Amino acid sequence: MTKILTALTEHDVATHDGLWMSAADAERVIGWVLKPEGMCWADACVPMPAASVAGGEVDVAAFWKKLGGPVIASDDRMVWALGSAPEERNAALEGLEAPDFTLPDVDGLPRTLSQLRGRKVFLATWASW
Amino acid sequence: MWQHLYDELKDKGFMVVAVAEESRGADHARPWIEQAKSSYWQLIDTEHRLSDLYNLVNVPQAIWIDEEGRIVRPPETAGSTDHFRRMDLKTKTMSPQDQAERLAAREAYLDAVRAWVRTGQHALPSGMARAGLPRVTPEIAEARAHFRLGVWLRQHGRTAEGDRQMAEASRLYPESWSMWRQAADLDEVGKASGPEFWARVQALGDRPYYPPPKL
pLDDT greater than 60 at residue A7 = yes
Q: What is the DSSP letter of B87?
A: S
pLDDT at site B23: 81
pLDDT at site B183: 81
C-alpha torsion angle, residues B39, B45, B50, B52 (rounded to 10): 170
Is the minimum CB–CB distance between A68 and chain B shorter than 8 Å?
A: yes
Whether residues B15 and A84 touch (CB distance < 8 A) is answered with: no
- CA–CA gap between residue B154 and residue B71 (Å, rounded): 34
- CA–CA gap between residue B200 and residue A126 (Å, rounded): 20
Q: Distance from B97 to chain A by nearest Cα, in Å?
A: 26
**Closest-approach residue (CA) in chain B for A73:** B149
Q: What is the mean pLDDT of residues A108-126?
A: 97
3-state DSSP helix/strand/coil % of chain B, to nearest 5: 55, 15, 35
Residue type, A45: C
Is residue A78 packed enough to be buried (19+ CB in 10 Å), middle (13-18) or exposed (0-12)?
A: exposed
pLDDT at site B212: 96
pLDDT at site A127: 85
Whether residues B62 and A103 touch (CB distance < 8 A) is answered with: no
Residue to substitute from A93, A109, A116, interface B, most B β-carbons within 10 A: A93
**pLDDT by residue (tens digit) across A15-51?**
999 999 999 999 999 999 999 999 999 999 999 989 9
C-alpha torsion angle, residues A45, A51, A56, A58 (rounded to 10): -70
In a 13 Å sphere around the CA of A62, the CA atoms on its Cβ side amount to: 17
H-helix segments, chain A: 23-30, 60-66, 86-94
Q: Which of residues 82-121 of A touch B (CB under 8 A)?
A: 82-86, 89-90, 92-94, 96-101, 103-106, 108, 111, 113-114, 116-121
pLDDT at site B187: 57
- Taking phi over 0 as left and psi of -120 to 50 as alpha, with beta for the rest, A119 belongs to beta
The pTM of the full predicted model, rounded to 2 decimals, is: 0.92
Each of the 215 residues of chain B gets a pLDDT tens digit; together they read: 899 999 999 999 999 999 999 887 778 778 888 787 789 999 999 999 999 999 999 999 999 999 999 999 999 999 999 999 999 888 889 999 999 999 999 999 999 999 999 999 999 999 999 999 999 999 999 999 999 999 999 999 999 999 999 999 999 999 999 999 888 765 566 666 788 889 999 999 999 999 999 99
pLDDT at site B189: 62
Closest CA to B28 of B46, B41, B40, B16: B46
pLDDT at site B186: 59
pLDDT at site B132: 95
Contact B87, B99 (CB under 8 A): no
Sorted by where each begins, the domain ranges of chain B are: 138-202
Confidence of residue A56 (pLDDT cuts 50, 70, 90): very high
Q: A with B: how many residue pairs have Cβ under 8 Å apart?
A: 216
Residue type, B134: P
Name every chain A residue with its beta carbon within 8 A of the beta carbon of B181.
127, 129
Give the residue, A7 or A68, on which the prediction is more confident. Answer: A68
Q: Distance from B22 to chain A by nearest Cα, in Å?
A: 6
Is the minimum CB–CB distance between A33 and chain B shorter than 8 Å?
A: no
Question: What percent of chain A clears pLDDT 90, i.e. is strictly above it?
Answer: 90
Q: Distance from A38 to chain B by nearest Cα, in Å?
A: 25
The strand pairing partners of A72, in sequence order, are A81
Is residue B176 packed enough to be buried (19+ CB in 10 Å), middle (13-18) or exposed (0-12)?
A: buried
Contact B203, B175 (CB under 8 A): no
Residue to substitute from B54, B72, B172, interface A, most A β-carbons within 10 A: B54
Whether residues A86 and B64 touch (CB distance < 8 A) is answered with: no
pLDDT at site A89: 93
pLDDT at site A112: 98
Confidence of residue A8 (pLDDT cuts 50, 70, 90): confident
3-state secondary structure of B79: coil
